[in-house]
């Protein structure tokens, strides 16, 4: 799918989001909460889609990147909030923006660290290594007492709102979309389709894989920062394997390398998860069955109708 003027579309989307957010005091707070979760999940799923979908890698540690970003941003605004706020001239949004970017960069650094070993690994090994990295991040966070250890970090200022969440989602979608549809970005798809052939055509597969991890982790970190400043409380357990799986399911359901589908799946699963909350355990049973049945019957995802499946050997 081509979009004629993606920049204009982004501007339009941001404008609409601004308008929507301006009236956010009038919305039902519960629905507002779900809407913000949707925005965060869309960011997470679309950024993971760059790694797992377009570039054909398989990361199971996206929640770890999110956790790094969340903690980095929250530490800046919570533990060093007062002096930094003074430095920012009392402008909370400026402090929040800087903290978010710092969180994103920290996550990107983590992504770089994961990305480098990933050059040598394919498929299942990479999945395990990223899973391991996610777990290591969780264990390390649990062992740092300054950020609350296993109890989590409390008292994070509630800077984030609908505008931040949706704005971030829009920018993330735009960046991933623009990257993949640029001349440069064709390389991601080439690496996913056939790494050997891509290398033979002069594409530096290594660089593409690292770029995918960097950008994906960066946006996951930003999403973590928004999440932390919306919930105002974070704990290491919230960034574990279950969270990563949830994001992976969104990408699989939407179809790997299919941004509109992934957005739809992220929103669908967030709303569905919210309405299935009373079913508790059954929700995860449903998720797992969904994965198995989808893989057997529709490996290209629910929201992809054309025959050219992206999942390749």
> With binding defined as CB under 8 A, does residue 276 bind other proteins?
no
Given the rule CB under 8 A, which of 63-71, 193-201, 213-221, 223-231 is the region that contacts other proteins? 193-201
> With binding defined as CB under 8 A, does residue 274 bind other proteins?
no
> With binding defined as CB under 8 A, does residue 201 bind other proteins?
no
> With binding defined as CB under 8 A, does residue 282 bind other proteins?
yes
CA 176/CA 159 separation, integer angstroms? 25
Query: Whole-angstrom distance between the N-terminal and C-terminal Cα of the chain?
Result: 24
**Smallest gap from residue 52 Cβ to other proteins (A):** 9
> With binding defined as CB under 8 A, does residue 303 bind other proteins?
no
> With binding defined as CB under 8 A, does residue 287 bind other proteins?
yes
Range 96-125, binding other proteins (CB under 8 A): 117, 120-125
> With binding defined as CB under 8 A, does residue 204 bind other proteins?
no
Q: Which of 133, 159, 174, 218 binds other proteins (CB under 8 A)?
A: 133
Given the rule CB under 8 A, which of 19-27, 33-41, 226-234, 279-287 is the region that contacts other proteins? 279-287
Q: How many residues bind other proteins (CB under 8 A)?
A: 46
> With binding defined as CB under 8 A, does residue 289 bind other proteins?
yes
CA 242/CA 38 separation, integer angstroms? 17
> With binding defined as CB under 8 A, does residue 145 bind other proteins?
no
The 53-92 site mask, x for binding other proteins (CB under 8 A), equals ---x-x-x--------------------------------
> With binding defined as CB under 8 A, does residue 144 bind other proteins?
no
- Residue 156 · residue 74 · CB < 8 Å: yes
- Look-up: residue for tokens 């430095």? 87
CA 45/CA 251 separation, integer angstroms? 6
Sign of CA dihedral 36, 73, 148, 79: negative
* Cα angle 6, 27, 265; round to 5: 45
The DSSP code sequence of 244-290 is HHHHHHHHHHH-TT-HHHHHHHHHHHHHHHHHTGGGTHHHHHHHHHH
- Residue 168 · residue 42 · CB < 8 Å: no
Range 206-265, binding other proteins (CB under 8 A): 241, 245, 248, 252
Sign of CA dihedral 28, 33, 38, 43: positive
The 152-191 site mask, x for binding other proteins (CB under 8 A), equals ----------------------------------------
User: Tokens at residue 190, please?
Assistant: 């080439």
- Which pairs from 138-142 meet CB under 8 Å and 24+ separation? 138/64, 138/67, 138/236, 138/237, 138/239, 138/240, 139/236, 141/67, 141/71, 141/236, 141/239, 142/236
CA within 13 Å, CB half, 41: 29
Q: Which of 36, 74, 129, 234 binds other proteins (CB under 8 A)?
A: 129
> With binding defined as CB under 8 A, does residue 48 bind other proteins?
no
- Residues of this chain that bind other proteins (CB under 8 A): 56, 58, 60, 117, 120-125, 127-129, 131-133, 135-136, 139-140, 142-143, 194-197, 241, 245, 248, 252, 281-282, 284-285, 287-292, 295-296, 299, 311-313
């Amino acid at each position: 799918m081509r979009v004629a003027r993606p920049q204009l579309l982004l501007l339009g989307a941001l404008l609409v989001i601004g308008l929507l957010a301006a009236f956010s005091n009038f919305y039902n707070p519960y629905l507002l909460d779900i809407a913000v979760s949707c925005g965060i999940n869309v960011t997470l799923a679309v950024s993971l889609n760059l790694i797992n979908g377009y570039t054909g890698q398989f990361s199971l540690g996206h929640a770890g990147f999110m956790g790094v970003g969340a903690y980095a941003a929250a530490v800046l605004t919570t533990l060093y909030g007062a002096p930094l706020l003074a430095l920012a001239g009392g402008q909370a949004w400026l402090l929040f923006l800087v903290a978010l970017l710092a969180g994103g960069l920290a996550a990107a650094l983590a992504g770089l660290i994961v990305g480098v070993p990933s050059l040598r690994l394919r498929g299942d090994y990479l999945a395990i290594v990223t899973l391991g990295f996610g777990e290591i991040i969780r264990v390390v966070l649990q062992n740092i007492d300054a950020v609350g250890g296993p109890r989590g970090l409390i008292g994070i200022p509630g800077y984030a709102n609908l505008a931040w969440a949706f704005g971030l989602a829009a920018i993330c979608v735009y960046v991933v979309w623009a990257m993949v549809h640029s001349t440069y970005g064709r390389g991601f798809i080439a690496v996913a389709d056939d790494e050997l052939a891509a290398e033979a055509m002069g594409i530096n597969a290594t660089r593409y894989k690292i770029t995918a991890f960097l950008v994906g982790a960066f946006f996951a970190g930003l999403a973590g920062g928004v999440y932390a400043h919306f919930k105002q409380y974070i704990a290491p357990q919230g960034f574990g394997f279950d969270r990563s799986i949830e994001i992976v399911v969104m990408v699989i359901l939407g179809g790997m390398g299919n941004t509109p589908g992934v957005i739809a799946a992220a929103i669908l699963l967030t709303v569905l998860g919210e309405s299935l909350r009373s079913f508790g355990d059954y929700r995860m049973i449903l998720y797992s069955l969904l994965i198995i049945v989808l893989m057997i019957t529709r490996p290209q995802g629910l929201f992809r109708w054309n025959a050219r499946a992206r999942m390749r050997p």
